Structure 1
Amino acid sequence: MPNSLNRLSRLGQSVWLDYIDRGLIDDGGLAAHVRNDALTGVTSNPTIFDKALADGRRYDARLAALVEAQPDADTETLFFALAMDDIRDAADTLRPAYEASEGRDGFVSLEVSPMLAHDADATVAQALWLVERIDRDNLMVKVPATRAGLPAIEALVARGVNVNVTLLFAVERYREVVEHWLRGLESRLERGLEIEGIASVASFFVSRVDAAVDRELEATDPATFEALRGRAAIANAATAYRHFLETVADERYARLAAAGAQPQRLLWASTATKNPDYNDVLYVEGLAGAQTVTTLPPATLEAFRDHGRAEEALTSAMDEADGVLRGIADAGIVLDAVTERLEHEGVSAFEQSYRHLLGTLEERRKILNAGT
């Protein structure tokens, strides 16, 4: 019997899982989600891998084999070897969804090192290395939407790489991402190269925006806070969706679509509700709509399956967005400043998670080398 997640799929929204670890793959949990919940994608990030490596010992046997085979390998090399195993196996589990959608869905995302967030050339080089090593058509490489990330996105699309643009908070930065994505496709077309089958998503973060704006509203304008609390994130995301619709209706994109291009869909990220006073599926329900992706951490996925309403909501969200954002601006909140700060904090948080997971691996390596 179809559940709420299946019904999201019927609205034209893809459901992806924002989590991966070895147990989910080995125990059949990922395959069960694909079978029962219309799941068609998986995303990962340094924080997710940090938790996966720290919470259990499922990686120890593989790590021991790697340390024995490559005793002089640095810790980052060991991490990517472990992560790439997970990504390959998850990609194989999702391969039927990739084939059934003719390459428009069924992807697994792996992020380049967050330490490269401000180095375009190094980002491109590592992304190409990951594509070659993982060797799966349904891999998406995650690239942060920093200023340096923009030319990297264009270069990778021009090389035919599937790109998941991550850490997007601002509508204006999203517009820049779309421009660089279009340029990448146009570059291929001008060189006589195929653009069919190149997939991309733009991961627009949600709940962190409300957490930041609510905090500022409460401090500066308590009356407005009561009227607009918990509304900034959906309004911000709906404004980005409006730009998406304008892009795919434009003649510039129509020329690319005629050559086989597929749209760069918006992906709603950070969908777990951070404020316990809010509905735990607020952002999944509020951003339900066609030609988008919603990526859900396990607890949010379970909650939505249990009691979520799968009804189209983006149309009304777009209708209300301008009024909500105007009210926030009138209260003295500069949303551009908020989203810029969130981008810096997001990069920093991923860097910290990455350093922590490398430290965890190094400790495990020392234990293995000691023979204990």
Structure 2
Amino acid sequence: METNKIKQLQEFGQRIWLDFLDRNLIRSGQLKKLIEEDGVRGMTSNPAIFEKAISSSNDYDQQIGQLAAIHQDNEAIFYQLAITDIQNAADLFNPIFARDEDGYVSLEVSPHLAHDTNGTIKQAVELWRKVDRKNVMIKIPATTAGLSAIRRTISEGLNINITLLFGLDRYEEVTEAYLSGLEDRVAVGLPIDHIASVASFFLSRIDVLIDPILEEKGEPQMKGEVAIACAKQAYQIYKRVFSSDRFMKLQAMGAMPQRVLWASTGTKDPSFPDTKYVEALIGPETINTIPMETLKAYRDHGHPASRLEHDLDKADQTLQQLKLIGINLQNIASQLEDEGIEKFNKPYDQLLKAIEDKKGPVIA
């Protein structure tokens, strides 16, 4: 029998997480099958995923009806729905978590808190306590306000998935927040050997924004190259930071590296291969969270091989060329961050409306 190509990626040090979650996936046994047969090692969720799950099925209707008698606040109802799914998924992944550093399931704070440090900290801690699973990560965006929240929640002992990360400079700040959070915890005599974190780079959105600009500037040969070049540079930053003397001191006390996670890895340009952002970024100590369609595509026609550190000179040249033609990656990252927050705010508001519509006839 041919070796499963998703499972093969583990041979190169990369773990595949699923960027999808709904109640039917868990109840039907499909998630268990993905874990056992494909070697899926974790799961991520976001407001858009939950909006689709809740509004497009009746799987949540009964629980919405039960909660409507208790909660008048639609956000409280949503998070209880989400927590139920997250707990059930985390339980399925728990055997993996018990064996190694994987098996995590991620739940995101409200996107409306993206620029609210204190609000983010408060909700992150509340969600962490309510979910009550050691193999859960709370997702916090890599905004300026988010950086302080990341440091604080790490110091509080939470597992954190840093989301909406687009730029290399901001990634450096994210690693600083993680290390500082660990150091804050050490300073008050608390253990750090159980804290896990990932830094999630959103990739395809970079190319979606930059590629039309490259066309306008007469550089079509660079299309589809920038996001991968950024990811390769980010991995070099990861290797430097997490082999530094500063981290070695923390590692001696049990600290785990904050792994890089490739997100937004479904191909949005139909002219590109549907496995583009998986094939190019296979490498040790990395995670790729992929939508179901990309997982199926890679299972069918992927070509597992370690490529993350191939053509590093080309990646550097690509980023240097951007500067020469007047494209500022920091500005691009800022724009993508703003757009990313809005792209989560909209489905978040839609899912709250869907809950309102579903509970209306129940409590009438």
TM-based fold match above 0.5: yes
What per-residue deviation string (whole Å, max 9, x for no partner) do you get for residues 175-227 of structure 1? 000001000001111211111010000000100001111011112x22x22x2
1:63 aligned onto 2:60? no
Of 47-56 and 326-335, deviating more is 326-335
Indicate the residue corresponding to 1:73 in structure 2.
72
Q: Map 1:300-339; keep pairs closer than 5 Å.
A: 300-339=294-333
* Matched residue, 2:195: 198
2:263 corresponds to which residue?
269
Tell me, yes or no, if structure 1 residue 252 matches structure 2 residue 246. yes
Paired residues for 1:1-372 under 5 Å: 1=1, 2-68=3-69, 70=70, 72-101=71-100, 104-219=101-216, 221-222=217-218, 224-225=219-220, 227-370=221-364
The amino acid that maps onto 1:310 is P
Uncovered stretches (5+) of structure 2, i.e. residues with no partner: none
Shift, 1:330, TM fit: 1.7
SS of match in other structure, 1:316: coil
| Alpha carbons 1:242, 1:318 under 8 Å: kept | no
Q: Which amino acid aligns with 2:144?
A: R
The CA distance in 1 between the partners of 2:242 and 2:354, in whole Å, is 44
Task: Find the residue that maps to 2:199 and give its secondary structure.
Answer: strand
Report SS of the residue matched to 2:256: coil
- Shift in Å at residue 87 of structure 1? 0.2
Alpha-carbon shift at residue 296 of structure 1 (Å): 0.5
CA RMSD of aligned residues (A): 0.9
After TM superposition, give the deviation of residue 317 of structure 1 in Å. Answer: 4.5
- Structure 1 distance, partners of 2:30, 2:36, is 10
Deviation at 1:66, TM superposition (A): 1.4
**Corresponding residue SS for 1:332:** coil
- Per the normalisation by structure 2, the TM-score is 0.98
Comparing 88-97 and 360-369, the one that deviates more: 360-369
Kept in 2: contact 1:142–1:166 (CA 8 A): yes
The CA deviation at 1:55 is 1.3
1:310 to 1:150, Cα distance in 2 relative to 1, 3 A: same
| Partner Cα distance (1:342, 1:287) in 2 | 21
The question of whether the paired residues in 2 share the 8 Å contact of 1:286 and 1:317 is answered with: no
Amino acid at match of 1:158: S
Where 1:293 maps in the other structure, the secondary structure is strand
Please report how far the alpha carbon of residue 294 of structure 1 lies from its aligned counterpart in structure 2 after TM superposition. Answer: 0.2
The alpha-carbon deviation at position 4 of structure 1 amounts to 1.1
Q: CA deviation at 1:289?
A: 0.5
Alpha carbons 1:238, 1:317 under 8 Å: kept: no
User: Which SS does the other structure have where 2:169 is aligned?
Assistant: helix
- Aligned pair count reads 363
Counterpart code for 1:236: C
The 2-side partners of 1:215 and 1:324 are apart by 16
The amino acid across from 1:312 in the alignment is: S
Q: Please list the CA deviations of residues 135-156 of structure 1 after superposition, one character each: whole Å capped at 9, or x if unmatched.
A: 0000100000000000000000
Equivalent residues of 1:200, 1:264 under 8 A apart: yes
Which deviates the most, 1-10 or 258-267? 1-10
Q: 1:54-107, CA deviations, whole angstroms, 9 ceiling, x for partnerless residues?
A: 111111111112123x1x421001000100000000000000010010xx1100
Shift of 1:283: 0.4
Secondary structure in 2 matching 1:39: coil
The worse-fitting range, judged by mean Cα deviation, of 188-197 and 284-293 is 188-197
Q: How far is 1:367 from its partner?
A: 2.1
Could you tell me how far apart the structure 2 residues matched to 1:320 and 1:335 are?
17
In 1, the alpha carbon distance for the partners of 2:280 and 2:156 equals 35
Give the AA of the match of 2:263: A
CA contact (8 A) 1:239 1:321 kept: yes
Amino acid at match of 2:140: V
Q: Distance in 2 between matches of 1:319 and 1:24?
A: 42
Contact 1:228–1:328 (Cα < 8 Å) also in 2: no
Provide the C-alpha distance between the structure 1 equivalents of 2:313 and 2:64, rounded to a whole number of angstroms: 52
Gaps of 5+ in 1: none
Deviations 1:299-343 (A, max 9, x none): 001001110111101111433211111122222211211111000
- Normalization by structure 1: what TM-score? 0.96
